[in-house]
Structure 1
Amino acid sequence: MSTTSPLVSIVTPVYNNADHLEECIESVLAQTYVNWDYTIVDNCSSDGSAEIARRFAEKEPRIRVRENKRFLSALENHNVALRYISPGSTYCKVVFGDDWIFPECLEKMVSLAEKHPSVGIVGAYALEGTQVRWTGLPYPSDVTSGREICREHLLRDLFVFGSANSVLYRADLVRRRDLFYNETQMNADDEVCFELLKNCDFGFVHQVLTFTRVRPGSMSAISGNMQTSFPGFLNILLTYGRDYLTAEEYKARLHRHVCEYYRFLGKSVLLNHNTTFWDYHMTWLAELGVGFSRARLVKGTLQTLLGALLNPKDSVGRLLKRRYNQRWADRKFDHGTSELLFRSIGQNSTEKRSSSDAKQ
């Protein structure tokens, strides 16, 4: 690959990733695309992560290391890292410190974006542990209008944006935003896609190009245990639904999601979640203007029990297994995790929603 190709600025926000950081950095060094620079931003790690990064920087001039003077939240550190992208870069790639990218990642993503100047975000399949994620777009569709892909996400649950680790951004889109990620939202990587795709298209490479590690305590693991996707999607729908949907579509989708949310909460009653789980969801329902309804919760619980009665062998067994797994996950749920989840509540910078919309 010629060095006259567009410059890609890669950033890795790091906090105590010493166990996996070498693998992350080596995956960048192994790229078939060579015109890149790489900034690693250490967030006051205590496990030697900064030393590992500096060791690589001493050997590779394209790598530079920055160290925060004070500890930041994860999303604050992500935003700081993105401010270090080079002014001459055409593209920006985030690679998390405990994840990595396949050798052809940059080459394939940049190639697609170069062929289609209207594309502002490029995604691809990702390997999450042993599972291939972000499937759903029919092959060989490689470019979808921003409006259409967001409509598919909202109306038909087509989740192809993935995480920041699985996409490539045009660098000018990053530079235009003072805070690229909304630091008050756990699902900020989804939210920024909806914001950017108002004015650009979405590209997709039908190939596994990134790896996401599944480990306890990571943001993705916390989100999975707490099912932050339910309030996260509700926030996306309330914030961007009118931008992408007709009035009738918006009203129907909002009603359906609130019903789905309460069915999930009803099932959660039977899983014996801890108080942090309930505080989180009840607080976000209030924050988003929906409010917490005991009647809807009872209805959701009864629907779960009815389903178990109609299919007792399958449903009860799965429910007992999930209850055991959840109790095990709750034991690992410490005060630091609680702080991460609740840091944003009460600081939500999005405009207040009308109660007539939210209480569908």
Structure 2
Amino acid sequence: MKNPRVSVVTPVYNGAPYLRECIESVLAQDYPNWDYTIVDNCSTDGTREIADEYVARDPRIRVVSNATFAPVMANHNIAARQISPESKYCKFVLADDWLFPECLSRMVAVAEAHPSVAIVGAYGLRGAEVWWYGLPYPSTVVAGREVCRLKLLAGVYPFGTPTSVLYRANTVRSRQAFFNEANLHADKEVCLDVLQDHDFGFVHQVLSFTRTDNDSLTSSYRRFIPHWPARLDDLVRYGPVYLTEAEREQCLTTHLTRYYAFLARFVLEVRDREVFAFHREKLRELGHPLSRVRLTRAIISRVLDLALNPGQSLSSVWRHARRRGLAESMVRSVVVRGSEGQDAGSSLAQLATVDTGKPGLSRAERDL
């Protein structure tokens, strides 16, 4: 078939402010053979009314309404199940986002030319910035295992978001639940699962727009900063699949050093015990329980960094941390109580003598 069917799906909850723009971008596609299903997750802001307007205008569009409210990834799975039996490809576009007019045609062309490809990605605008880069031009097709190795070893992330990729429909149908509903990074998990046995296609062109100022998950994400345990989860689960043992151990060592540097900054400069408890529990779940000694060493390293940084006042930062109560209580629990066989009488002065070197953080990590 010259233009195989693409099922476009949009899971939405209270998406009225941007839904029209999203739907119009689907209508503007230069690719002719598509159907479009909007899954309304019990919206209360006029989302259903907007969707119904377009249903009345175009027979290729339909609306499915959930009987009860579903969590985010559960609603994504409901949307994935709406793809038509005739469809060869599945394209998500989230309700806050939109597609450039040539998105479907460019992605389908890559998939049709390369039957081994199960997922096709492309550059995308995220706010005002171009994201999902890392593959050298003209990497139209990359072995799935190789692109996953690049993700784990170098942080290259061309997978983007559900809006920025195209899935082969049989890949969607082959999984009972396409997305892991317990994982907010389930779209990444899908890629790491599927690409064990398939290739990855890429279009070196900006084909989608992801909004950053209206994401209902943004405030929670910024508060809990879950990418730290998510990266650890990647290494624990997929390191044995894609990396050698030596590579995996090196990546784990590097990431845990950076993770504890983040936790040290968090202890010194932020007061949010719920978030700290979240990270402590995630470390336990992933088989790397919180090391109080390691955390204390990271705290000392951070304090020394501040002391040697002429642009910051150690005393003011330390007073700020003490005033908020968290640093003092955390250091007391770590040092006075002791752990992991360490002398409970260990002091900050003694710990200051250990090697506190750590690899540099990326700009994004430093900003956190």
TM-score, structure 2 normalization: 0.82
Aligned residue number for residue 258 of structure 2: 260
Aligned residue number for residue 16 of structure 1: 14
Is the alpha carbon distance of 1:316 and 1:130 closer, same or farther for their aligned partners in structure 2, counting shifts above 3 Å? Answer: farther
8 Å contact kept, 1:214–1:221: no
SS of structure 1 residue aligned to 2:14: coil
Distance 1:255 1:148 in 2: 22
Aligned residue number for residue 30 of structure 1: 28
Aligned residue number for residue 48 of structure 1: 46
SS of structure 2 residue aligned to 1:9: strand
Task: Report the alpha carbon displacement of residue 140 of structure 1 after superposing the two structures with TM.
Answer: 1.5
**TM alignment of 1:298-313, pairs within 5 A:** 298-313=296-311
**TM alignment of 1:197-236, pairs within 5 A:** 197-215=195-213, 218-236=216-234
Task: Report the alpha carbon displacement of residue 220 of structure 1 after superposing the two structures with TM.
Answer: 4.7
Distance 2:36 2:54 in 1: 11
Task: Report the alpha carbon displacement of residue 229 of structure 1 after superposing the two structures with TM.
Answer: 1.0
8 Å contact kept, 2:96–2:214: no
Distance 1:258 1:197 in 2: 26
Task: Report the alpha carbon displacement of residue 165 of structure 1 after superposing the two structures with TM.
Answer: 1.3
5+ residue gaps, structure 1: 328-360
Question: Which residue identity lines up with residue 85 of structure 1 in the other structure?
Answer: I
8 Å contact kept, 2:123–2:131: yes
Task: Report the alpha carbon displacement of residue 67 of structure 1 after superposing the two structures with TM.
Answer: 0.1
Q: CA RMSD in A?
A: 2.0
- Paired residues, what number? 318
TM-score, structure 1 normalization: 0.84
Task: Report the alpha carbon displacement of residue 11 of structure 1 after superposing the two structures with TM.
Answer: 0.4
Task: Report the alpha carbon displacement of residue 86 of structure 1 after superposing the two structures with TM.
Answer: 0.7
SS of structure 2 residue aligned to 1:13: strand
Distance 2:187 2:18 in 1: 22
8 Å contact kept, 1:186–1:228: no
Distance 2:232 2:57 in 1: 47
Aligned residue number for residue 331 of structure 2: none
Is the alpha carbon distance of 1:90 and 1:224 closer, same or farther for their aligned partners in structure 2, counting shifts above 3 Å? Answer: farther
Is the alpha carbon distance of 1:221 and 1:173 closer, same or farther for their aligned partners in structure 2, counting shifts above 3 Å? Answer: farther
Task: Report the alpha carbon displacement of residue 221 of structure 1 after superposing the two structures with TM.
Answer: 4.9
Larger radius of gyration: 2
Distance 1:65 1:302 in 2: 56
SS of structure 1 residue aligned to 2:16: coil
1:153-188, CA deviations, whole angstroms, 9 ceiling, x for partnerless residues? 001111111111111100100000010001111211
Q: Percent identity?
A: 50
Query: Is 1:195 the counterpart of 2:202 in the alignment?
Result: no
Is the alpha carbon distance of 1:128 and 1:222 closer, same or farther for their aligned partners in structure 2, counting shifts above 3 Å? Answer: farther
8 Å contact kept, 1:123–1:166: yes
1:254-277, CA deviations, whole angstroms, 9 ceiling, x for partnerless residues? 222112111111122233142232
Query: Is 1:122 the counterpart of 2:154 in the alignment?
Result: no
Query: Is 1:176 the counterpart of 2:174 in the alignment?
Result: yes
Is the alpha carbon distance of 1:224 and 1:149 closer, same or farther for their aligned partners in structure 2, counting shifts above 3 Å? Answer: farther
Distance 2:80 2:308 in 1: 52
Question: Which residue identity lines up with residue 142 of structure 2 in the other structure?
Answer: T
Task: Report the alpha carbon displacement of residue 4 of structure 1 after superposing the two structures with TM.
Answer: 4.3
8 Å contact kept, 1:37–1:63: yes
Aligned partner of 1:285 among 276, 283, 286: 283
SS of structure 2 residue aligned to 1:277: helix
8 Å contact kept, 2:99–2:208: yes
